[in-house]
Amino acid sequence: MCGICGEYRWDGQPVELSRIQNMLQALEKRGPDHVGTFSDGGLAFGHRRLSIIDLSEKANQPMIDPQLGLALVFNGSIYNHPELREQLKIKGHQFFSLGDTEVILKAYKQWGEDCVKHFKGMFAFAIWDLKKKSLFLARDRMGIKPLYYAEHQGTLRFASNTQALLKYPIDTELDNDALHNLFSLHAVVPAPRTVLKGIRKLEPAHTLTISATGEQRLKSYWHLDATRSTESCDEKEWIERIHASLKTAVKRRNNIADVPVGVLLSGGLDSSLLVGLLDEVGIEDIRTFTIGFDDQPEEKGSEYEFSDAVVEMLKPNHHKFHIPNEQTLSRLPEAIANMSEPMFGQDAIGFYLLSEQVSQHVKVVQSGQGADEVFAGYFWYQQMAKAKGDNLERFAPYYFDRDHNEIQKMLSEDYISADFTAALIKDKLDAVNADCYLDRVLALDTTTLIVDDPVKRVDNMTMAWGLEARVPFLDHELVELAAKMPPELKLRDNGKYVLKEIARGLIPDSVIDRPKGYFPVPALKFVRGEFLDFMQDILNSQQCRERGLYQRSYINKLLAKPEAHLTRIKGSKLWQLALLEFWLQQNNI
């Protein structure tokens, strides 16, 4: 796990390495172990390393292979790199390092652009062909690793976060269509857009090749097929198959590392099951980490009672942290400063503070993101499955934070587009290859919506402390298998039925049978006191007024009853407005 950046000029001018150094400053937290640069005329790479696999200097980046005429910067982990290494050795390739980075170089030489089809893992990388003077960019199937880019006057710059790209002149005008997505899809702006017109992101499961003349070729290399399997499996067989696939995913993410791997244990089913599976496959030194906050009158600030039950049963090496409310609020600006894009999820600060503590013990953790989207754990899936109408009519009333008419009342006229989100979601739902509506929605969620909300949030908050998060529930082979499973095995028992059955005997029943929970950060959930003061100051600031993004009448309506205006999935509308404005101010936009 690392931070990467680069600049490619096809206007005949060389790249100044000082520009790469400036971008690397914005990536420092992602890779504290080593920094490196490389340049070749109109191309320059920068890399910040977090040493996980092959800790030696031979695995430092940028990695150059003079014999192949290739240079690489890479962020992520390739879990099947030992098997690929053996395949490539048989084909005549020789290796000078032991990690996954060099495997990518050799794989690209062997299979060209199709090399990505051979990788199992999470990745964003760039390869420079010194002979052809061409640049190849790639991103993993599930979009776990970020890759942003900006074009400006015959130059393309790319980086692991937007802050690195903002070091140089780009178009920082707000993208109206992206704003519509942001406020409809609880902070999701699907790739390739971001809220800034001048910054785009490579879509998951895509590659981008740029020739010496600047010609660009964007290519998709994977699609999720959610049609029913032709093979006949009963319930028991499906549970066994998912169980086996999950064990492989968890074991893969534990064993492919030359440093200890921990688990972020929330006390919910998903993270608890990861601990149970690690115990089942025989991992002896399981390290778990739990965080809690101060209670509010309406809600507990921790789920210790459930995480403690897992610890009592499985006896991992457990670490428990408690964060007082005053620290939660005072350090909120830090968390927002580490967001590559605005993120509305109030648990971001929780992941940020937890990652700070965990990074003092391990460099790698497994986390439970993706289980709800792959196995239908959220309440709105039940509502959508029962609803009538076309694809969009069954989706929008249960998922959209705001309908288009409300956005027209919220945003100033200059920032209002057509109902872009409805059109986009309809097109994406219609395009999914699925036999039933639920699987159509889950496929959209898993491959598009989750990428730019929980997955991005966890990447940003963990990497702010040089901590690598691995997400076994988003193993692409597991996702492919689950997509073909009958929907009733996902929806039964209020969702995630198959995971609950797998968990029996591996973790306490009290964790399996508890109501669905969410990362509790009560100080930020209830809009009052210092938290309300914080939002009022932002929305009443001179910068906010001069920007003129929001209609004052809408802001005043929310401020009059700050706890009354919630989205369909119980998010604070006031917080969403304040978060975006604060993010823009922090980034001097």
Catalytic, 544? Answer no
Q: Which residue has the tokens 């076994």?
A: 472
What's the chain's Rg over C-alpha atoms? 23
Cα separation, 422 vs 184, whole angstroms: 9
Q: How far is the first Cα of the chain from the last one, in angstroms, to the nearest whole number?
A: 29
| CA–CA distance, 528 with 505 (Å, rounded to integer) | 42
CB 5 within 8 A of CB 157: yes
Q: Order of strands across the sheet with 261-264?
A: 317-323, 287-293, 261-264, 364-366, 468-470
Backbone angles phi, psi at 380, to 5 degrees: -70, -20
Q: Are 464 and 349 in contact (CB under 8 A)?
A: no
How many separate helices (H) and strands (E) can be counted in the chain? 27, 19
Question: Exposure string (b/e) for 470-488, b if CB count within 10 Å is 16 or more?
Answer: bbbbbbbebbebbbbbbbe
DSSP state of 147: -
Q: Are 402 and 184 in contact (CB under 8 A)?
A: yes
Amino acid (one-letter) located at 569: I
In the set 2, 5, 115, 544, the catalytic residue is 2
Measure the CA–CA gap between 394 and 245, rounded to whole angstroms. 31
Question: Active-site positions?
Answer: 2
